Amino acid sequence: MRSAFLHGDVVTASARFRADILVVDGVIAAIGDSAEWDLADTEIIDATGCLLLPGGIDTHTHLEHRVASGHTRTADDFESGTIAAACGGTTSIIDFVRAPAGVGIYDAFIERRARADEASAVDFSFHPIVPPTAADDDSFDQLVRLAREEGVASWKFFMAYPGSMVTDDVLLRGFALGREEGVLPIVHAENGHLVADAIQQLVSTDDVAEHRHLAAHPAIAEEEAVNRAVLLAERVGSDVFIVHVSAGAAAREVARHRARGARVFAETCPQYLTVAYEDYRDLGFPAVGYICSPPIRERSNQADLWDAIERGVIDTIGTDHAAFTLEHQDDLPPQKASGRGNFTAAPNGVPGIEERLMVMWEAGVASGRLSPERFVELTATAPARLFGLEGRKGALVPGADADILVWDPADARTLGVATAHSRSDYSVYEGMTVSGSPRLVFSRGELIAENGEPVDGIAGRGTYLRRKREALPALPITERKGN
């Protein structure tokens, strides 16, 4: 099967240039002048007036995800969530595996991969979540097995929340093992003790209205945890990746360590850059829809995050997509309504898997903050490089999968529930007008979405992505004394 993308501008992480793209059997075969190619029996895709971008990679999604307490799960399953991703131009995701009580992380991974194999519309991989019991059981043996046998190149560590939070010795051991296995540790960096204390103080005074979730997550909790994670990673010579940086102080901490040579990488999310506490403070119950952790902070905080992006301190843009509904749905367990009048009872998360690229184009490129090249770096190329997909995903180069967006920078759309494909019944981007969007979305050369709507029959076509990062040589902790 052959196709050719003609008359568009190719955008990479480092350049923008006029070129055509030839695709053969789902792989980019050539980039150049189509006049030099034999286009007989070749489907022509006219990209006049459009940009040709690599398909987006969202390395932070929660589909069909059961929360740590086990009492509920997200509204989006692998089918609805990945169809939404496809409609927004995301062609690969990395989700998570949490082992339920009594189930090992290896078996939990195999089960979750099978469910995604049946339903996912886009290509996918997983970050296993390191359980709090890892210091006392064989979880790390199973995680190493996943790295070696299943191409798992990242492990998730929580520094906060009952049922998820690991101790510092687990962090240190996990970082050291990850270094030996070529695994990138990704860290939810909040000081769990500070968060728990803040929640207790709010509960003791019955100060638990929906919008008070922000007060339970002080910026210092993020700042301190970032510092600790970096220092522990350095102790064993490991890279470390900080997910969903929401506080300007945390971004500055990443920058401080990066400036002195620490191998720390970071992600932020569109909701932290474009939505603010002031948008939901006075909403009453609907403010529960904005509850995510770390929280959506004050508008004044956004300048520090944009500065971190512009200076290269932030490496990727993920969504932390965890879609719930405000109203009860008969086929779903309790959703956001369980937090009516009490933020501590609300499941955490906001939808955004479909809107990510459009929001970042509008807030970043259209506003003049970002170049198209930097947009590609943040949303596709850097995620592929950091998470073990380089060469196959994240860039328009010969030999890579033909994950291609025909991006119309002049197409204006208004975002909101009416046009979204997530099962969530609200959007934190409701009413936002964007000036760029994917006209056509191709995954491995196959059209999967057109003008914001999915092509019929794409559920289940996604494939599992084995990932590989270059392994670093083992370095015993004892060799790092004095550092």
Q: Are 242 and 229 spatial neighbours (Cβ–Cβ below 8 Å)?
A: yes
Asked if the model's pLDDT at residue 307 lies above 60, the reply is yes
State percent of the chain over pLDDT 70.
97
Q: What is the pLDDT of residues 388-421, one digit of tens each?
A: 999 999 999 999 999 999 999 999 999 999 999 9
Q: Which residue has the tokens 């009048």?
A: 341
The residues, any chain, with a CB within 8 Å of residue 170's CB and separated by 6 or more, are 130, 132, 134, 135, 157
**pLDDT at residue 482 is higher than 50:** no
pTM of the model: 0.96
- Return the pLDDT at 135: 87
How sure is the predictor about 473, in pLDDT bands with cuts at 50, 70 and 90?
low
Asked if pLDDT for residue 477 goes beyond 50, the answer is no
Q: 460 CB contacts (<8 Å, ≥6 apart)?
A: 79, 117, 118, 119, 120, 121
- 119's enclosing H/E stretch is helix 105-119
Structural contact between residues 240 and 229, judged by C-beta atoms closer than 8 angstroms = yes
Q: Does residue 481 carry a pLDDT above 50?
A: no
Six-digit token pair at 372? 């198209």
Q: Quick: pLDDT tens for 176-222.
A: 999 999 999 999 999 999 999 999 999 999 999 999 999 999 999 99
How far, in Å, CA of 266 to CA of 188, rounded?
11
- Closest-CA residue to 305 (of 259, 238, 258, 255): 255
For residue range 89-122, list pLDDT tens digits in order.
Answer: 999 999 999 999 899 999 999 999 999 999 999 9
Kindly state the DSSP code that residue 372 receives in the 8-state scheme: H
Domains, in order of start, for the chain: 2-54+398-409+424-454 (2.30.40.10), 56-377 (3.20.20.140)
Residue 329 has a pLDDT of 83
Q: By the 8 A CB rule, do 18 and 9 touch? A: yes
Query: Does the pLDDT of residue 468 top 80, yes or no?
Result: yes
* Distance of alpha carbon 13 from alpha carbon 460, whole angstroms: 30
